[in-house]
Amino acid sequence: MSAIDQLFVNLRQQGRKAFMPFITAGDPHLEFTSHLLTQLNRLGCHLAEVGIPYSDPIADGPVIQASYTRALGKHVKLREIFDCVERLKPQLTMPLVTMVSYASIHRVGLEHYVESAMQAGFSGAIVPDLLVEESGPLAAICRQRDFSLIQLVTPTTPPERAVRIAESSSGFLYFVSVTGITGERTELPAGLVDRVDWLRQRTPLPICIGFGISRPEHVRLLAPVADGLIVGSAIVRHLTDAASHPAEASAKIEQLVSELMAAL
């Protein structure tokens, strides 16, 4: 059982839902990434997603793309990200996962990526551009090592394909709330709750909802049907000025996370 499996077992026993923030590694620098992870852990977040900067992300909106671009401009490297997180291991109680392009995994080798990520303290990986038809080799490696391979289901995923994705995933299933890219939205689409409920009847995996969640009312709407809620762009937009005003950015992120967690 992975740390993510144990997390959701514990939360279900307590009748609670997971709050899962996303941050970009290396924006504005890895020292601030370290600070944010310890801050999010202190605030009681249940799991954190760490974005591995990539030049051509397929699902990320302008806020996260800009954040990735800033991090790449500082020449942040995968090994440096892993080293940064490994130094934090003794301080963190929440599991961590990478949000990473399959190209980055393939470049270093599937087994090497999983082993290096586990050594650093990661419990899983979200791979948004990995097709379910091509996920077998990585899924097998992840199963052998109790390293969660988290895959995405979108509103346009055909039902039979959604079930197949769930069957090849582990840890939890990432349910994309909207059609399109990440980013804050004023409202979430009608029918979202029904689609999640349909999928829940077909997989034992926890279902966590992401994309577009930025307001307490979104949290209150989705918490009853989800096992966890993922918040990315609403947090990452505060990294824009973190290089010049780190204390202010940190305070804004803390306020936002506290407000959203209070609605959970």
Span 3-262 CATH architecture: Alpha-Beta Barrel (3.20)
Query: Band of the pLDDT at 259, cuts 50, 70, 90?
Result: very high
Per-residue pLDDT reduced to its tens digit, 213-236: 889 988 988 888 899 999 999 999
Distance between CA atoms of residues 11 and 18, nearest Å: 7
Per-residue pLDDT reduced to its tens digit, 51-77: 999 987 665 678 999 999 999 999 999
Q: Which of 258, 227, 239 is nearest to 14 (CA)?
A: 227
What pLDDT is stored for residue 58 in this prediction? Answer: 65
Q: Active-site residue 49, yes or no?
A: yes
Query: Band of the pLDDT at 189, cuts 50, 70, 90?
Result: low
Catalytic residue selected from 60, 115, 227, 254: 60
Query: Band of the pLDDT at 184, cuts 50, 70, 90?
Result: very low
SS3 121: coil
Q: Parallel, antiparallel, or unpaired for β 96-99 and 124-126?
A: parallel
Distance between CA atoms of residues 66 and 48, nearest Å: 20
Give the pTM. 0.93
What pLDDT is stored for residue 128 in this prediction? Answer: 92
> Considering the chain, what is the average pLDDT of its residues?
92
- Report the share of the chain in percent with pLDDT over 90: 80
Q: Where are the domains of the chain?
A: 3-262
Query: Band of the pLDDT at 178, cuts 50, 70, 90?
Result: low
Q: Which amino acid is at 68?
A: Y
Catalytic residue selected from 5, 49, 184, 227: 49
* Centroid of chain to Cα 171: 12
What pLDDT is stored for residue 59 in this prediction? Answer: 58
Per-residue pLDDT reduced to its tens digit, 82-121: 999 999 999 999 999 999 999 999 999 999 999 999 999 9
- Report the share of the chain in percent with pLDDT over 70: 94
User: Is-contact 54 68, C-beta < 8 A?
Assistant: yes
The mean per-residue pLDDT over the stretch 188-211 comes to 84
What pLDDT is stored for residue 181 in this prediction? Answer: 41
